Structure 1
Amino acid sequence: MSSEKARGIDLIDKAILAMLQNNADTPVAEIAEQVGLTVTPCWRRIQKLEEKGIISRRVALLQAKQLDLAMTVFVQVKAGRHDGKWLASFAKHAASFDEVVECYRMSGEYDYLLKVLVTDMDCFDHFYKRLVNGIEFSDVTSSFAMEQIKYTTSVPLNHI
């Protein structure tokens, strides 16, 4: 285990985390029963995992396609400049779009990777125009996902 934060997690914590990743609405009593604890110690463990920041929040996962967000686009961006001001400006700009659901600073040929969810090509075109009008880029390219092979929000726990 390489992370300082992951230290102190035992097999019971790991089982609790696995259950919560699968369904955050699982009643504490059910989790406690599955991991061999009574409710109060189980609840304390969950609170401790939250305090440590290992559990950052509990959310509802929505089906993008059911909400007509049928198009996933990966947008790669080359920085217009490589200085702190541009980097901060781009981070703020990218984060301002609801369509951007993930944004990463990357190594390699492109500096940033955005995951964008939109309804269709017209919606993407509208997004793209707003993206490129707001800030100077060296290059921008987009790839359209044709099929989602795997999607999970679960973090691997097998290293613990």
Structure 2
Amino acid sequence: MKLDPAQRQILSLLQKDSTLSTQQMADKVGLSPSPCWRRVKELEESGLIKGYVALLDRQKLGLTTCVWVRVKLKKHSAEVLDRFEAVVKGCDEVVECYELLGETDCLLKLYLPNLEAFSAFMHNFLLKIPEVDVTHSSVALREIKNETALPI
């Protein structure tokens, strides 16, 4: 979808604050409210805007530990990956999961309260998945940048 400058501005504004009213957005973009509202609706209907969410402070929720886990699967087949994906999608601690090329098959990002919770996750969940062969984990010491806004 080719975006015009107003659509780009609208998307940038919504990524920073999706609670803006149509009037506030229109004022910032330089449109009247009706055309601005129509553009937002077009972006929603096209699927470019997938939804609206509240971004929570994980530290205040007690999720102070961020762990990245690289997973190597026992076999490379569609069935194995499908089974692994289904299990991982049902796990709340896994906030991101990517299939990768190279030595690692999948990369998981976890938010947990502490290292004890990570140990429990590994022993009670991840290592019990039959498709998992080898894992390597990295604990984040501190968060330098974590943005949700995409470059437009």
- Given the two structures, how large is their TM-score scaled by the length of structure 2? 0.96
What residue number does 1:142 align with? 137
What residue number does 1:131 align with? 126
Indicate the percent of aligned positions where both proteins have the same amino acid. 37
8 Å CA contact retained: 2:126, 2:132 = no
Matches within 5 A, 1:18-57: 18-57=12-51
Point out where structure 2 has 5 or more consecutive residues left out of the alignment. Answer: none
* 1:134 Cα deviation after fit: 2.5
CA distance in 2: counterparts of 1:136 and 1:37, whole angstroms: 54
* Letter of the structure 2 residue corresponding to residue 101 of structure 1: V
* Letter of the structure 1 residue corresponding to residue 136 of structure 2: T
What residue number does 1:119 align with? 113
Point out where structure 1 has 5 or more consecutive residues left out of the alignment. Answer: 1-5
What residue number does 1:87 align with? 81
- C-alpha RMSD of the superposition: 0.8
* 1:136 Cα deviation after fit: 2.5
CA distance in 2: counterparts of 1:98 and 1:135, whole angstroms: 19
Equivalent residue of 2:59, what SS?
Answer: helix
Corresponding residue pairs, total: 151
CA distance in 2: counterparts of 1:154 and 1:59, whole angstroms: 12
Q: List, as ranges, runs of 4+ consecutive aligned residues in structure 1 with deviation greater than 6 Å.
A: none
Give the alignment partner of residue 75 of structure 1, picking from 69, 76, 85. 69
